[in-house]
Amino acid sequence: MRVRMAPPLPLIFFLLMIHGVSSAGLSVSYSPSHICALKDSTVIMRCTYTYPTGHQIEKVFWSKTKDKKEHEEFPDLSEDTEYSQRLQYLGDKQQNCTVRLSHVTLKDSHMYYFRFITDKEKWIGDPGVTLTVTDLQVESPERVTEGDSVNLRCKSSCALTDRATFIWYRNSQPLTERRDRNNELLLQSVRREDSGRYSCAVDRHTHISPAVQLNVMYPPRNVSVSISPSGVIVEGDSVTLNCSSDSNPPAEISWIKGGTTVGSGRIYNISKISSDDSGEYTAKSPVLN
């Protein structure tokens, strides 16, 4: 006697259903399927769904499978205290399943799924919407010398889904002339006045990046030397030589007398001056490399 085995079609059909592939008039579609959003912003996950004629929708909700444990139902995010005040269902019980999530945080980076239950079926739209939440960071060179061209970048961990207009700040004050769709700030021929703490943001968003210090280095200038007391000096007096200059970093001063280094630092003191101390003193500083 010969036995014929039928192909395991019911098993294959069951596996397709639990993965959310469109079948028998049941489907969920997301547009877009990947979203990169800025921290503290509001995200709209657009979604549509279909089901066969004759079915009655009993429940619609959104979920994320990371919270699902084996043999448990997918949780309803509107009942989760972390989401209940921020999640708003914009859809209906017919075709639209769009949802809004406000004040997103880095912890909200997950894959989200729409779930609907009819009087005859339970369905989940898998794969869902991948949401990545990013913050902003300013990338700046460590060393900048006056006259250099400097490029600062406002970085995010992913490319923002919405077209972004970037805003730059120096010392918490907006650089009003720097509002464009380019995430880079170019400073041509930097000056010492360009030194400061730089941060960036996206127009119409509250999130601002941490500030990064930009130090513009320049060689000594406006050098002046003074002597105290400035009048007649008598043997045995104390004399102070002072050298001041404007530089970044502060200049290293060496005091030279007759070709010999006799001291260092901005101030050089001579206590109980004698005739041997007579001569010409020069304050010397190396040129910034």
pLDDT at position 10, please? 40
Q: By residue range, what is the domain housing residue 254?
A: 219-284
pLDDT at 20 over 50: no
One domain, residues 100 and 151: no
Last residue of a domain, one of 102, 118, 133: 133
One domain, residues 120 and 150: no
One domain, residues 156 and 127: no
Q: Sorting pLDDT into bands at 50, 70 and 90, what band is 222? A: confident
One domain, residues 38 and 77: yes
Quote the tokens at residue 207.
Answer: 């999130």
pLDDT at 219 over 90: no
What pTM did the predictor assign? 0.73
One domain, residues 102 and 143: no
Q: Of the candidates 83, 98, 86, which has an alpha carbon nearest to the alpha carbon of residue 44?
A: 98
**Measured between alpha carbons, how far is 209 from 137 in angstroms, rounded to an integer?**
5
Q: Sorting pLDDT into bands at 50, 70 and 90, what band is 23? A: low
pLDDT at position 121, please? 86
**Measured between alpha carbons, how far is 103 from 121 in angstroms, rounded to an integer?**
34
- Number of independent structural domains in the chain: 3
Last residue of a domain, one of 190, 214, 238: 214
Query: Contact 75/67 with Cβ under 8 angstroms?
Result: yes
| pLDDT tens-digit series, residues 36-45 | 999 999 999 9
Residue 272 lies in a domain: yes
Q: Of the candidates 184, 197, 195, which has an alpha carbon nearest to the alpha carbon of residue 145?
A: 195
Residue labelled with tokens 């010409």: 280
Query: Contact 200/168 with Cβ under 8 angstroms?
Result: yes
| 34-43, 79-88, 124-133, 244-253: segment of lowest average pLDDT | 244-253
Query: Contact 209/39 with Cβ under 8 angstroms?
Result: no
One domain, residues 223 and 209: no
CATH number at residue 253: 2.60.40.10
Greatest mean pLDDT range, 24-33, 105-114, 142-151, 159-168: 105-114
**For the chain, percent of residues with pLDDT exceeding 90:** 52
26: left (phi over 0), alpha (psi -120 to 50) or beta: beta
> SS3 for 218?
strand
